Structure 1
Amino acid sequence: MCMSLVAALAGAEGKGSGPPPREGFSRLTSADAERAVVGNLCRCTGYRPIADACKSFAADVDLEDLGLNSFWKKGDAHVDKLPPYKEGSIGAFPEFLKAEIRASLRIDKCMSARVMAGSESSWHRPRSVEEYYRLIASDSFDGSGTKVVVGNTSSGVYREAEVYDRYIDLRDIPELNSVSKDSEGVQIGAATSISLVIEILRREGDDCKDVIFGKIADHMEKVSSHYVRNTATLGGNLVMAQRDEFPSDIATILLAAGSSVCIQVSSGKLNVTLDEFLEMPPCDYKALLLSISVPHCTPDNVSSSAGAVNMTGDKTESSLLFETYRAAPRPLGNAVAYLNCAFFAQISSDESSGSLILEKLHLAFGAFGTRHAIRARDVEKYLVGKPISASVLLEACNVLKKIIVPKEGTTHSAYRSSLAVAFLFTFLYPMTKRNVKPARSARLNGHAASDTNGNPNCPPSADIDLSLKETNSVESGLHSNDHILESCKQIVEISKDYLPVGIPAKKVGAELQASGEAVYVDDIPSPEGCLYGAFVYSTKPLAHVNSIELDPSLEQVKTVAVITVKDIPEGGGNFGANTIFGPEPLFGDPLTQCAGEPLGIVVAETRNFANIAAKRAVVNYSTETLDSPVLSIEEAVRRCSYFETPPFLLPQNIGDFSKEMEEADQKIYSAEVKLNSQYYFYMETQTALAIPDEDNCMVVYSSSQCPEAAQNNIARCLGLPCHNVRVITRRVGGGFGGKAVRSLPVATACALAAFKLHRPVRMYLDRKTDMIMTGGRHPMKICYSIGFKSDGKVTGLHVDLFINAGMTMDVSPIIPHNFIEALKKYNWGAFSYDAKICKTNISTRSAMRGPGEVQGSYVAEAIIEHVASVLSTDANLVRQRNIHTVESLALFHSECLENALGYTLPSICNQLTASANYQYRSEIIQTFNKTSQWKKRGLSFVPIVHKVLSRPTPGKVSILNDGFVSKRILHSWGFWFIPKLRSCC
């Protein structure tokens, strides 16, 4: 994030245009600062404080918008207290680092070398197209083991499972970097970076008043992140779309714009439309993409697309419209779209009838589960020449439904298809309302139609000036927002009742982490002779493992060993993890219980070699005599596949459910809620470094939330006493529970390999392997029956809870308790439940941030909302009817109630609703929703309860010779924390 901000500051300095900024600030704008960190992930700190830090450099920022007064006393926030920014103070890349890189590559002149030969591969940089073809035509070249690159950012999308011994870098070929323009449009070299293409299109658009270029540039800024766009190339993106079925946004928008490409083949140059290029057989190294042509759209060029161009004839008036759309998990970019599309239309207005007619139309759709972006030609053919009306629009949507059909296996296929229809409706809907005779000055303006944020419920903003009297229901959907943050004032009132408790304090290691100096496990330098390990895991959910063999074609991969269950030393055991509920195996032997279960470890001399060898390992399975795997909760229930839950962990039922149901005015039977799993998505994946030590000892650096458990498990696996195993955890790069029990197999496997080979071994799981093996939050199925009065008071609730634990127990037995305790945040009258922990053939699920509690609270709110829906009343009224009284709290949470004065939840709720003006804001929202057809608003008030348990915590105070005091606190699982160091008086 820091490097992204530095790059944005350097870019702002490089522009050097406009008035000088305020003293102490940069030329960076607040919007640029926000965009600088788009795509970066932070699950702990949150987006807001990071964006505030970045925006503090911007000259146009409002100080109160930074939230800095949360760290300064009230009224004490001043600009002078911000460290001043000096233009030109950004340092260059250090020369000593450049020298180290040159030395590591074994070359003298890195930037000018045309061939860089290493011990394992060679790097070629041809200076012309002719030299490139001479290279691939040489006798030593057979095409295998060769990768053609420029930015090579595709390796971030498609993890390399191949070993390349030759790379050909095209960035020095002039033809691939040239940019030219003529009356037809702009020709851009295929090796031009996407960031530079954005600048070129913006500049050309401003020079010739071509709106299409600006629209394309705006959409391109949603492609990946800024630092990837600086390296990724326009041609590389299109080749991935053509060859690898990459869901490219750029291919879609250029397809709608009528772009073409120039390809060099052995017989000469070939100019084809982008549509034809995408339909060609996948490109190989013999075909070289040279350039991409994007046509102009100016008042003199009707065939191009623009957002606001008028051409007036004697009887009709024509306009051009070009819009792009995308829907993605993250609106500002750096996420592959669920669907992207771009539309170009030439529209004429008949002066006699006032109706709008489509004269020309391009409808391009991509990323919906097809091989590449396509033109919806059947819809175009149907619409061209017709006056746009509601009936025509409806039929066009029906035709489109038959075209946008994702291939089998595409996720969210129904949603993607509906998005296509919604975006087409968004584009065409305003044309159905333009039944007035336009004046000569009427024009189409696209002030907000490019809804690249992916809101399919927004009608387009393309609007004829004479028809501005649209209904509020339409106008409410016209505007989109390209910013996550607008403006906010942060006010923190600190209570003086418990000072210094509550005062905002900086984290002890904040400077180390923000500066990048904090050392995580993977930052520790590799010891001499260090090897690298990678898991070979099962791809079958239930099968016998007969053998594991490495791919014989990988001769150049320097594999050292394959560690399996047979390599566990005598006296040790096949232990991968261990909890109070029992152990789980490190390796599946001889039966693998799930896809993703470790079968062995490939150890090689580099991490890349280890990963490639592990991915291409051949595992021979047999499934004879085995039943079909249990893959769902429903199948587990049908086959009674359950883990036993210790009775002492299950809360008691409350009251008589059957009796209370009889007294209810209304009843709901067998309602169902399903909750899926959730991946931890920590920044740092599972990692460990094991170093053999003297006297049969082992030192393991593990990114673990449970180093004490890791020590015990490693000792049991290796057959060593615990004091011979030392586990060191300085910090964890994100955990959320995923680095608790699920970190143990990685640390244990790493230690086993190091113990066997007598050499240091380190492992760092790639993201895909981590997601497959680690599991995540427990999937659940909840069935409930509930009775309630006509005023919303619940009389009785019964819940059937089914938890998918995966193949082993882990800590799953605690989940029912946590779920029920969170569910009991409301007074359900009588309450009963039945909980089952299902044993299935999927990867083990483990504790994750609020295990069971998140699901329990969610289900409680789902039940309240269901009751409110049946009664057609405000859900908040139902919540108030069922919030605990002191009497009901004694039944549901008796252990937590010491006296009546200690229960403050009702008063807190009342205070919050009053301070937030809940009732007033609810009335405003209801009024808005009645008048808004396309956008809806909501306001939620959700109480959450969490049991706080106090327990004695060991502490250690050391008084040092120099007068300093070191305080250490044992937190849990063997973690000793150093909260602060201060001098003695």
Structure 2
Amino acid sequence: MSGFHASQCGFCTPGMCMSIFSSLVGADNSKRPQPPNGFSKLKVSEAEKAFSGNLCRCTGYRPIVDACKSFASDVDLEDLGLNIFWKKGDKKPDVGKLPSYTFGGGICTFPGFLRSEIKTLQQHLDDVNITTSKGSLYHPTLQNYTLCGGIFTFLDFLKSSLKYQRYHLNDANNTASKDGWYHPTSIKQYYELINSTLFSECSVKVIVGNTSAGVYKDYDLYNKYIDIGGIPELSSIVRKAEGIEIGAAITISRCIEILEKESKHMSSPNGSVVFRKLADHMSKVASPFVRNTASLGGNIILAQKKPFPSDIATILLGAGSTVCIQVVEEQRHITLEEFLEQPPLDCTSLLLSIFIPHWILDSQTETSLVFQTYRAASRPLGNAISYVNSAFLGHVSFDESSGDHVLSNLHLAFGAYGTEHAIRARKVEKFLTGKLLTASNIHGAIQLLKETIVPMKGTSHPEYRISVAVGFLFSFLCVHVKGIADPGKAFSTSPDDSVDIIEHDSPLTSRQETISGDEYKPIGEPMKKYGVELQASGEAVYVDDIPAPKNCLHGEFIYSTQPLAFVKNITFKSSLSSQKIIAVVSAKDIPKEGQNIGSMSMFGDEPLFGDPITEFAGQALGVVVVVEYDIVDLKPPILTVEQAVQNNSYFNVPAVFYPKQVGDFSMGMAEADHKILSTEVKLASQYYFYMETQTALAIPDEDNTIVVYSSSQYPELAQTVIAKCLGIPLGNVRVITRRVGGGFGGKAYRSFPVATAAALCAYKLRCPVRMYLNRNTDMIMVGSRHPMKAHYSVGFKSDGKITALHLDLLIDAGISEDLSPIIPSGVISALKKYNWGALSFDIKLCKTNNTSKSSMRAPGDTQGSLIAEAIIEHVASVLSLDANCVREMNFHTYDSLLLFYPASAGEESTYTLHSIFNRLALTSSYRHRADTVKQFNICNKWRKRGISCVPLIFNVSPRSAPGRVSVLKDGSIVVQVGGIEIGQGLWTKVQQMTAFALGQLWPEGCEGLLERVRILQADTLNLIQSGVTGGSSTSESSCAATLQACKLLISRLNPIMNKLRLQSATVSWDNLISQASQENVNLSASVYWVPEQGSNSYLNYGAGISEVEIDLITGAITILRSDLVYDCGMSLNPAVDLGQIEGSFIQGVGFFIYEEHQTNSDGLVVSNSTWDYKIPSVDTIPKQFNVEVLNTGYHKNRVLSSKASGEPAVVLASSVHCALREAIRAARKDFSYSTESAGTSPLIFQLNVPAPMTVVKELCGFDIVEKYLENLSAHELAS
């Protein structure tokens, strides 16, 4: 992972390593041939799926994929990305430089902290006497366990054994289980247990994997838990002539293995297809972790018990499965359909097994078996629930008299469309049975299906779900009808040779181009990240990893679920009344010298607790559980920007932050040949989704002081907020931040309430208090990117040259200002990347009763760039011109650039956008690919592609920063800077800068200094005026401060160096420092770096091309390829900057395409978990991802001529959004008869943000299948 630069913030890295390790062990335990020396049996295709259940917000996944692929036996080394083992451009990568992989060696290096856990577990085992009929240390779940040799498997063995000891039940009346967990090992024992007095009048939960707790949070605690995973009958596999019976407690992963094995051993290809497709579909359910734990029966019981959108229940229903149920002493066999329809099982009944029949046809008949499963989900490889799923089975025969096919014995199963459980579409089955498969009959079946598939009230996207269900049935049936375009085929008509067939399951590929500089060595080298080995091993300490001090308590926020309501009463839920709750801390507990303040910025403060009125849903109230509200005599809450306008509810934007307009709009409109007036575009919000949620540990100390460990991008201001809240001096508050597990702006001002609440609790109770928000609470309380609503009016010439633009913009700021007043300048700065002729705007910052919005990676610029592209593409559509021609027509000249960016345009030689755009078009073969896309769209009815290229101009303003460099007696070097390491590689660049700068004492530099450098954590009492880490410029500011401090040290060391050189030709670093220490030279230099006049801001340039493909049946989006070229100046570390560019681009893809931030009617966030909120995963990134980092040479006003890289590439992700618009436009053109309304061209439409598959499907047309069939039916009648 370290060698492939595959870790940034590092919080997800241990999980990634374990997933890769798991895949390696699984592959090497297979019966495949031995791989070449140094490699594993893993295949590249498996490597890419190894961590399909893992999430990463920093890297964009590409380097993690490369790290995993480097183990694969079939890897092409030249396809691996930037790494430390060989340089890009080497004639041939040297496999010998890769760390050699050896399986089963019995030795695994592992973190030291695990050694103590191993010792503790072993000691506990020594005291445990587990006696069963199977002998010592037997555990039912370890029957097929293979010890691979390595600490991970050994640790798992120990823990599993302890688990068995803990749950084991020797006697039904055994009261040894103090925690209420029981583990029967037979059905008889199970029934003895539940019928015992222990279980009378108490709540019981029966579990196997208990993975349902991740979906249905058990806020009401159960008295007893029974783990039935150790009952042998529930884990049995019985093969019969009629089919296979699979125990209900068998995991989904094991079930997949069973089905795959069974399909290979079946003599009938017709029969094997059912098992093979069931296994393939199950491999897309949930994630590998869940499938390895969750049971087959548990999934089906959930589908019966709750409206759980189970894929497994649907596909087994389509395959004609039955189930076996144990009711006391009786076993019952019923169909799965009957099981799903009956009342949920209680504790007196057990699901024993699922029987899947063999579908074997007589080989003498001409009838064939067809079976197919479908799912529409936001992620191809799983880890996302389906909007709709289905499974179809039937017998197909050929009718010679008509030349058509006939279906019989149909099973049409549908689920997840907003139904209580999966169903058989019986009426549709009856309608189709025995009928000829023609367009008109399929159309009739679809009409009947639409009467059957009726989503329940409250189901999201009901029209989408119905339309997709129709599409699935059409896809299944149309294969057997001549003259119908099959959605399952690559092309509807034969294309010419120029069209590429890109398989959606083809391996991910990439290309990285960087230039390493030698002038400032080791600056400019693609060195691995500082501390990356600690991150990969899990030894890196984040705030919640700090061992709990003695008597440490845990605090939890409880928040309002209503806006604008009086807090009337506070009570505890009965399930928590028995828990040991130490105190309830609220606004009443704030010291009288303090203030109710939870956050602050230069624009205003935000209260810590709502008291006595809660102003927005999600506001902290204190440590409470149930709150009663009274909304009498309060105005209705303002939850939208439209309501804010109606109520005149705005925040002021200070004049200094309000952007300047350009030119005369009226004059520009008068020059225009064409006008577009008041067209709307909406942009929704985006949650930060850092891997480490908000966390803090507060420890009271002597003399009225307190120490707070906070995961914060702005410890300095956190210190101020805490001091104000407690009413104590700043000097009494120490805030310490070592590293942050992802920030993206969300750990700046939004980290303050958690740190302050923890400090208040600790201050009141005089004991340590830890707070660590769970994901749900974090998503509800913390805030997100600013939603916006824009209306634009634009005038333009017939050749596409724009003469004037006016923008009316409404920004939802939430309940407090936070940093919202700076957002307008970001929007307009991004908008100015084009020469609009004249630019005017009216921006209103709306105050609403929503959670406060704050800065998120490229705040304002991300939205402004999309608005600019929407305008360009609208103009192109009106004029029927190529959008990229319109873009280039409106690029800046250097003169217009000076007009739009007077403070940051720089010298003409630094304006590189034109050359970047041309270079990208050339290296990506843009023109050829655009022609290929057109040809593809002509030849394909149900899949369409789009390609688009967007430019980037991003304004960066470096800020002042402190720095201190100290050299100890032994020559080791410690560095302190104001910037926080949040994954952006700040520590790495500072380390390189220190080695470079101090090495200037020698003309040729000094080898070995790099390893001597240690970067210290941020401490607000040790290094003051640290400022905020953000705006993409903190790394360069910290490097500048470090360079300045090193120069100060060099000025002190130079006289010593000159003296030593008189005595010896060579002077070592150790000798120099030893002599300087003896002569009492101050070896610690502190500085406060301030940017020089003229370098306060500069422009970054780049461009991106993306090509996408959409599925018109489901709306599914595949990013086929993205190419980026980015001007990074003279990169301080090309590997770090490349990682920042790739990661920010993928985060931008999430904003523009995938991430739906949804709230209810009270403004409470409801997409508050990974179940509902989907960030990009490894299966949704571009199939081919190419990035070139340009080195544009020397610039005197920047830090060693470098440029920022953290935020700008987010903007380039709008290329995916624009390409998606082109693909949708192609679909609407093809189906224009179904989308065109009176007087409106189907090619002109707005694509808001985000644009997930549901939106794509809607814009392409919910009824396109019906219209297509109606058209074919009309031709049938005519012929």
TM-score under structure 1 length normalisation: 0.90
Question: What residue in structure 2 maps to residue 174 of structure 1?
Answer: 232
- Rate the CA distance shift 1:119–1:526 in 2: closer, same or farther, 3 A: farther
- Rate the CA distance shift 1:793–1:477 in 2: closer, same or farther, 3 A: closer
User: Match for 2:78 among 64, 76, 83?
Assistant: 64
Q: How does 1:126-137 map to 2 (within 5 A)?
A: 126-137=184-195
Q: In the alignment, is the contact (CA less than 8 A) between 1:201 and 1:214 conserved in 2?
A: yes
- Rate the CA distance shift 1:381–1:102 in 2: closer, same or farther, 3 A: farther
Aligned residue type for 2:23: A
| Deviation string, structure 1 residues 263-321 (Cα, Å, up to 9, x no partner) | 11236222111111111112222221110001112235xxxxxxxxxx444xxx21111
Q: In the alignment, is the contact (CA less than 8 A) between 2:286 and 2:384 conserved in 1?
A: yes
Q: In the alignment, is the contact (CA less than 8 A) between 1:146 and 1:168 conserved in 2?
A: yes
Question: Aligned partners of 1:852 and 1:63: how far apart in 2?
Answer: 40
Q: In the alignment, is the contact (CA less than 8 A) between 1:222 and 1:334 conserved in 2?
A: yes
Q: Is residue 24 from structure 1 mapped to residue 38 from structure 2 by the alignment? A: yes
| Deviation string, structure 1 residues 519-568 (Cα, Å, up to 9, x no partner) | 11111111121111111110111101112111245343111111111111
Question: Aligned partners of 1:95 and 1:184: how far apart in 2?
Answer: 52
User: Match for 1:806 among 796, 814, 818?
Assistant: 814
Question: What residue in structure 2 maps to residue 420 of structure 1?
Answer: 469
User: Match for 2:487 among 450, 459, 463?
Assistant: 459
- Rate the CA distance shift 1:89–1:405 in 2: closer, same or farther, 3 A: farther
Q: Give the secondary-structure state (helix, strand or coil) at the position aligned to 1:831.
A: strand
Deviation at 1:839, TM superposition (A): 1.0
Question: What residue in structure 2 maps to residue 306 of structure 1?
Answer: none
Question: Aligned partners of 2:529 and 2:980: how far apart in 1?
Answer: 19
| Deviation string, structure 1 residues 185-237 (Cα, Å, up to 9, x no partner) | 11011110111111111111111141211111111111122122111110111
Q: Give the secondary-structure state (helix, strand or coil) at the position aligned to 1:945.
A: strand
Q: Give the secondary-structure state (helix, strand or coil) at the position aligned to 2:696.
A: strand
Q: In the alignment, is the contact (CA less than 8 A) between 1:211 and 1:297 conserved in 2?
A: no
Q: In the alignment, is the contact (CA less than 8 A) between 2:69 and 2:75 conserved in 1?
A: yes
Q: Give the secondary-structure state (helix, strand or coil) at the position aligned to 1:946.
A: strand
User: Match for 1:13 among 7, 10, 28?
Assistant: 28
Q: Is residue 140 from structure 1 mapped to residue 198 from structure 2 by the alignment? A: yes
User: Match for 1:87 among 103, 114, 125?
Assistant: 103
Q: Give the secondary-structure state (helix, strand or coil) at the position aligned to 1:271.
A: strand
Q: Give the secondary-structure state (helix, strand or coil) at the position aligned to 1:514.
A: helix
- Rate the CA distance shift 1:328–1:571 in 2: closer, same or farther, 3 A: same
Aligned residue type for 1:380: E
Deviation at 1:29, TM superposition (A): 1.4
Question: Aligned partners of 1:476 and 1:235: how far apart in 2?
Answer: 50
Q: What stretches of structure 1 of length at least 5 have no aligned partner?
A: 301-310, 436-456, 463-468, 603-616
Question: What residue in structure 2 maps to residue 578 of structure 1?
Answer: 600
Aligned residue type for 1:958: S
Question: What residue in structure 2 maps to residue 242 of structure 1?
Answer: 304
Q: Give the secondary-structure state (helix, strand or coil) at the position aligned to 2:955.
A: coil
Q: In the alignment, is the contact (CA less than 8 A) between 1:355 and 1:434 conserved in 2?
A: no
User: Match for 2:924 among 916, 932, 948?
Assistant: 916
Question: Aligned partners of 2:599 and 2:185: how far apart in 1?
Answer: 55
Question: Aligned partners of 1:862 and 1:724: how far apart in 2?
Answer: 52
User: Match for 1:686 among 694, 698, 722?
Assistant: 694
User: Match for 2:527 among 505, 508, 519?
Assistant: 505
Deviation at 1:70, TM superposition (A): 7.4
Deviation at 1:884, TM superposition (A): 0.7
Deviation at 1:79, TM superposition (A): 0.8
Question: What residue in structure 2 maps to residue 445 of structure 1?
Answer: none
Q: Is residue 846 from structure 1 mapped to residue 854 from structure 2 by the alignment? A: yes
Question: What residue in structure 2 maps to residue 121 of structure 1?
Answer: 179
Question: What residue in structure 2 maps to residue 465 of structure 1?
Answer: none
Question: What residue in structure 2 maps to residue 668 of structure 1?
Answer: 676
Aligned residue type for 2:487: P
User: Match for 1:734 among 717, 738, 742?
Assistant: 742
Question: What residue in structure 1 maps to residue 619 of structure 2?
Answer: 597
Question: Aligned partners of 1:898 and 1:835: how far apart in 2?
Answer: 28
User: Match for 2:455 among 397, 400, 406?
Assistant: 406
Deviation at 1:725, TM superposition (A): 1.1
Aligned residue type for 1:100: T
Question: What residue in structure 2 maps to residue 78 of structure 1?
Answer: 94
Question: Aligned partners of 2:353 and 2:774: how far apart in 1?
Answer: 35
Q: In the alignment, is the contact (CA less than 8 A) between 1:356 and 1:431 conserved in 2?
A: yes
Question: Aligned partners of 2:124 and 2:704: how far apart in 1?
Answer: 35
- Rate the CA distance shift 1:220–1:655 in 2: closer, same or farther, 3 A: same
Q: In the alignment, is the contact (CA less than 8 A) between 1:6 and 1:90 conserved in 2?
A: no
Aligned residue type for 2:777: T
Question: What residue in structure 1 maps to residue 293 of structure 2?
Answer: 231
| Deviation string, structure 1 residues 687-711 (Cα, Å, up to 9, x no partner) | 1111111111111111111111111
Q: Give the secondary-structure state (helix, strand or coil) at the position aligned to 2:949.
A: coil
Q: For structure 1, which segment, 186-195 or 146-155, has the greater mean C-alpha deviation from structure 2 after superposition?
A: 146-155
Question: Aligned partners of 2:767 and 2:588: how far apart in 1?
Answer: 19
Question: Aligned partners of 1:150 and 1:972: how far apart in 2?
Answer: 43
User: Match for 2:834 among 826, 831, 835?
Assistant: 826
Q: In the alignment, is the contact (CA less than 8 A) between 1:427 and 1:459 conserved in 2?
A: no
Aligned residue type for 2:46: D
Deviation at 1:815, TM superposition (A): 0.6
**Identity, % of aligned pairs?**
54
Question: Aligned partners of 1:282 and 1:56: how far apart in 2?
Answer: 48
Q: In the alignment, is the contact (CA less than 8 A) between 2:361 and 2:368 conserved in 1?
A: no
- Rate the CA distance shift 1:738–1:950 in 2: closer, same or farther, 3 A: closer
- Rate the CA distance shift 1:555–1:907 in 2: closer, same or farther, 3 A: closer
Q: In the alignment, is the contact (CA less than 8 A) between 1:102 and 1:108 conserved in 2?
A: no
Q: For structure 1, which segment, 417-426 or 624-633, has the greater mean C-alpha deviation from structure 2 after superposition?
A: 417-426
Deviation at 1:498, TM superposition (A): 7.7
- Rate the CA distance shift 1:833–1:476 in 2: closer, same or farther, 3 A: same
Deviation at 1:672, TM superposition (A): 0.3
Aligned residue type for 2:99: P
Question: Aligned partners of 1:866 and 1:173: how far apart in 2?
Answer: 64
Deviation at 1:151, TM superposition (A): 1.3
Deviation at 1:517, TM superposition (A): 1.1
Q: How does 1:970-985 map to 2 (within 5 A)?
A: 970-971=978-979, 979-980=990-991, 982=1009, 984=1069
| Deviation string, structure 1 residues 612-638 (Cα, Å, up to 9, x no partner) | xxxxx2211111111111111111111
- Rate the CA distance shift 1:860–1:563 in 2: closer, same or farther, 3 A: same
Aligned residue type for 2:809: L
Q: In the alignment, is the contact (CA less than 8 A) between 1:714 and 1:725 conserved in 2?
A: yes
Question: What residue in structure 2 maps to residue 281 of structure 1?
Answer: 343
User: Match for 2:401 among 352, 355, 359?
Assistant: 352
Question: Aligned partners of 2:947 and 2:483: how far apart in 1?
Answer: 36
Q: Superposition RMSD on alpha carbons, in Å?
A: 2.7
Question: What residue in structure 2 maps to residue 154 of structure 1?
Answer: 212
Q: In the alignment, is the contact (CA less than 8 A) between 1:543 and 1:623 conserved in 2?
A: yes
Q: Give the secondary-structure state (helix, strand or coil) at the position aligned to 1:939.
A: strand
Question: Aligned partners of 1:374 and 1:90: how far apart in 2?
Answer: 51
Q: For structure 1, which segment, 860-869 or 89-98, has the greater mean C-alpha deviation from structure 2 after superposition?
A: 89-98
Q: Is residue 49 from structure 1 mapped to residue 71 from structure 2 by the alignment? A: no
Q: Is residue 254 from structure 1 mapped to residue 316 from structure 2 by the alignment? A: yes
- Rate the CA distance shift 1:195–1:27 in 2: closer, same or farther, 3 A: same
| Deviation string, structure 1 residues 890-914 (Cα, Å, up to 9, x no partner) | 2211112343333222222223222
User: Match for 2:779 among 737, 758, 771?
Assistant: 771
Aligned residue type for 2:914: P
User: Match for 1:342 among 351, 376, 391?
Assistant: 391
Q: In the alignment, is the contact (CA less than 8 A) between 1:67 and 1:491 conserved in 2?
A: no
Aligned residue type for 1:340: N
Question: Aligned partners of 2:722 and 2:361: how far apart in 1?
Answer: 74
Question: What residue in structure 2 maps to residue 204 of structure 1?
Answer: 262
Question: What residue in structure 1 maps to residue 545 of structure 2?
Answer: 523
Q: In the alignment, is the contact (CA less than 8 A) between 1:458 and 1:478 conserved in 2?
A: no
Q: Give the secondary-structure state (helix, strand or coil) at the position aligned to 1:183.
A: coil
- Kindly indicate whether structure 1 or structure 2 has the higher relative contact order, using CA contacts under 8 Å at least 6 residues apart: 2
Q: For structure 1, which segment, 725-734 or 98-107, has the greater mean C-alpha deviation from structure 2 after superposition?
A: 98-107
Question: Aligned partners of 1:81 and 1:977: how far apart in 2?
Answer: 26
User: Match for 1:959 among 959, 967, 970?
Assistant: 967
TM-score under structure 2 length normalisation: 0.70
Q: What stretches of structure 2 of length at least 5 have no aligned partner?
A: 1-15, 131-161, 996-1008, 1013-1068, 1071-1279
Question: Aligned partners of 1:267 and 1:972: how far apart in 2?
Answer: 64
Q: Give the secondary-structure state (helix, strand or coil) at the position aligned to 2:418.
A: coil
Deviation at 1:69, TM superposition (A): 6.0
